[in-house]
Amino acid sequence: MQKKIMLLGSGELGKEFVIAAQRLGQHIIAVDSYNEAPAQQVADEREVINMLDGAELDRIVAKHRPDIIVPEIEAIRTERFYDYEKQGIRVVPSAKAANFTMNRKAIRDLAAKELGLRTAAYRYANNLQELKEAVAVVGMPCVVKPLMSSSGKGQSVIKNEADIATAWEYAQSGKRGDQSEVIVEAFVKFNSEITLLTVTQDNGNTLFCLPIGHRQENGDYQESWQPAAVSEEHVKEAQDMAEKVTRALTGSGIWGVEFFLADEGVYFSELSPRPHDTGMVTLAGTQNLSEFELHARAVLGLPIAEITHERNGASSVILAKAEGVNPAFTGLEKVLGQPKTDIRLFGKPIARPNRRMGVVLTYDRPEADVDVIKQRAMDAAKSIEVV
Among 278, 286, 290, 362, the one annotated catalytic: 278
Percent of the chain with pLDDT over 70: 99
Q: How confident is the model at residue 151 (pLDDT cuts 50, 70, 90)?
A: low
Among 54, 118, 151, 152, the one annotated catalytic: 152
pLDDT tens, 190-214?
999 999 999 999 999 999 999 999 9
Q: Assess whether pLDDT exceeds 70 at residue 44.
A: yes
Which residues pair with residue 319 across a beta bridge? 356
Quick one: pLDDT at residue 262?
95
CA distances from 242 to 226, 236, 288 (A): 18, 10, 22
Whether 274 sits among the annotated catalytic residues: the reply is: no
Tell me which fold the domain 190-386 belongs to.
D-amino Acid Aminotransferase; Chain A, domain 1 (3.30.470)
Question: Averaged over 137-155, what is the pLDDT?
Answer: 86
**Exposed (0-12), middle (13-18) or buried (19+): which is 231, by Cβ within 10 Å?**
exposed
Whether 270 sits among the annotated catalytic residues: the reply is: yes
Quick one: pLDDT at residue 104?
85
Question: Averaged over 327-345, what is the pLDDT?
Answer: 98
The β-bridge relationship of strands 122-125 and 190-200 is unpaired
Spatial contact of 287 and 209, defined as CB atoms under 8 Å apart: yes
Which sequence spans correspond to the domains of the chain? Answer: 4-91, 121-186, 190-386
Quick one: pLDDT at residue 246?
97
- Of 310, 307, 313, 309, the closest CA to residue 295 belongs to 307
Among 12, 74, 163, 277, the one annotated catalytic: 277
Quick one: pLDDT at residue 144?
95
Cα distance between residue 162 and residue 72, in whole Å: 36
Among 150, 200, 252, 272, the one annotated catalytic: 150
Which residues pair with residue 224 across a beta bridge? 214, 315
Lowest mean pLDDT among 5-19, 97-111, 372-386: 97-111
> Three-class SS string for 197-240?
EEEECCCCCCEECCCEEEEEECCEEEEEEECCCCCHHHHHHHHH
pLDDT tens, 254-294?
999 999 999 999 999 989 999 999 999 999 999 999 999 99
Whether 152 sits among the annotated catalytic residues: the reply is: yes
Quick one: pLDDT at residue 114?
96
Q: Assess whether pLDDT exceeds 80 at residue 148.
A: no
Among 130, 220, 243, 270, the one annotated catalytic: 270
Among 46, 108, 355, 356, the one annotated catalytic: 356
- Of 276, 277, 274, 198, the closest CA to residue 240 belongs to 198
Quick one: pLDDT at residue 1?
81
Quick one: pLDDT at residue 102?
79
**Exposed (0-12), middle (13-18) or buried (19+): which is 33, by Cβ within 10 Å?**
middle
Among 47, 72, 258, 291, the one annotated catalytic: 258
pLDDT tens, 51-99?
999 999 999 999 999 999 999 988 889 999 999 999 999 999 999 999 9
Q: Assess whether pLDDT exceeds 70 at residue 177.
A: no
Class of domain 4-91: alpha beta
Q: How confident is the model at residue 125 (pLDDT cuts 50, 70, 90)?
A: very high
Question: Averaged over 304-329, what is the pLDDT?
Answer: 97
Element (H, E) at 323: none
Q: Helix, strand, or coil here: 379?
A: helix
CA 63, 65, 71, 74 dihedral sign is positive
Whether 54 sits among the annotated catalytic residues: the reply is: no
Quick one: pLDDT at residue 218?
73
Whether 323 sits among the annotated catalytic residues: the reply is: no
CA distances from 304 to 47, 200, 288, 364 (A): 31, 10, 11, 25
Identity of residue 10: S
* CATH code assigned to 121-186: 3.30.1490.20
First to last CA, the chain: 43
